[in-house]
Amino acid sequence: MKFLKVFLVFSGLFLNATVANANDKICDIKFAELLSEGLNSHPSITVSKKLILGADLQLSSAKWGYYPTPTIDVSRSSNNTRTTFRLDQPLWAGGKIDAIRDKAKAQKNEATYVYAESQYQLIEDYLNTLQKYLQAQDKIHIMNSGVSQLKSIMQTIDRMIVAGELSTADKNLLNTKIADIYSSLEITQAEFDVAKIQFEILTGHEVECNVSFAKKSIFVDNINLEELVDETLNFHPSLKILNAKIEAAKSDVDFAQSKLWPTLKLRGEHRKGALYDSDSDTEENLIYLVLEMSTGAGASALSNIERSKINVLKVKNEKLSKEKEVIDRLMNNYTRFIAVKNNKTSN
């Protein structure tokens, strides 16, 4: 979550936006409130929350592996039936149960970071849409002002034509310029409408107000780029997701290695009935130790270990690639941020 704050350093210009109607009156809904609604109700956020819930249940299920496991077995021959009630308590499993639990923990962490990444992406989508919205709105305002000025000039030209000081060609030239502005205005209006539709899709409801920008400075005087890079590498949700995947892959290695070891169980058993004629038909209660081991066919256990180790290296390399991608994007954003800051300072 901390990385979201770093991300908003470059995006804070847009978070100062408020919503106003066409009469320039301030509405009750502000951009921050619309963003909050999206972070609570957007489908990507809802799905991410469900993933966390599912991962929680999976972790709870994995923890039950340390507790006794009841089973019931009913066997029947042509003449007899035997019922067996069994309770197995793992005493030592060679790391199998620990590996399953650790993988469930890693998957829960991954689901949590997927949720954070969904928030990050949604905020970025909001800001990109708002930027297009405001830019189109400003262009429309500038073009309308330009048309008004040209129409005012047109009145002057009409008077000068009547006075014989200018020709009709001068008026036609001005009409051409006005027509060109109207053409650009139509395109810009379409951009504005598209941005508004995108904004409504993100917020989940119709936006009846225009978006205006509160001119409040948010620029930080000094940004330590080295610290910014460190924080990005430590808190970026995409990298956190890959960290969790690495832990899950390591758990797969532990589980594969545990197949080379037996499982020791304490078993309590109650038998009732006889399956064969030679069996005793009396009920009996037994408590005994069970040692189980299955490595699979041939050398499959060793192959699975090597395959799991390769998967760990694969995910680690994916993380290195993602780190480069994240830092490149951070540098681009930082460069844009400094350019905007310097431009506002010079003005």
How do residues 277-298 score in pLDDT, each as one tens digit? 666 667 888 999 999 888 777 6
81 forms beta bridges with: 76
Q: For the chain, what percentages of helix, strand and coil (3-state, to nearest 5) are there?
A: 65, 15, 20
Tell which wins on pLDDT, 162 or 114. Answer: 114
Mean pLDDT of 207-222: 63
What pLDDT is stored for residue 276 in this prediction? 67
List, in sequence order, every beta strand (DSSP E) within 79-218: 81-92, 210-213
pLDDT in tens, 293-317: 887 776 778 889 999 999 999 999 9
Domain layout of the chain by residue ranges:
2-346
Query: Does residue 214 register a pLDDT over 70?
Result: no
Query: Does residue 242 register a pLDDT over 70?
Result: yes
- Cα–Cα dist 236/333, whole Å: 15
What pLDDT is stored for residue 307 in this prediction? 93
What pLDDT is stored for residue 69 in this prediction? 92
> What is the CATH architecture of 2-346?
Up-down Bundle (1.20)
Per-residue pLDDT band at 244 (split at 50, 70, 90):
very high
What pLDDT is stored for residue 181 in this prediction? 87
pTM, full prediction: 0.76
Per-residue pLDDT band at 215 (split at 50, 70, 90):
low
Per-residue pLDDT band at 18 (split at 50, 70, 90):
very low
CB atoms within 10 A of CB 338: 14
Structure tokens at 139: 């262009």
Per-residue pLDDT band at 1 (split at 50, 70, 90):
low
What pLDDT is stored for residue 216 in this prediction? 59
Lowest mean pLDDT among 172-176, 184-188, 253-257: 172-176
What pLDDT is stored for residue 14 in this prediction? 42
Per-residue pLDDT band at 273 (split at 50, 70, 90):
confident
Burial class of residue 58 (count of CB atoms within 10 Å of its CB; 0-12, 13-18, 19+)? middle
Lowest mean pLDDT among 4-13, 71-80, 118-127, 281-290: 4-13
The amino acid sitting at 8 is L
CB atoms within 10 A of CB 130: 24
What pLDDT is stored for residue 331 in this prediction? 93
Report the mean per-residue pLDDT for the chain.
Answer: 83
pLDDT in tens, 126-137: 888 888 888 888
Per-residue pLDDT band at 71 (split at 50, 70, 90):
very high
90 forms beta bridges with: 265
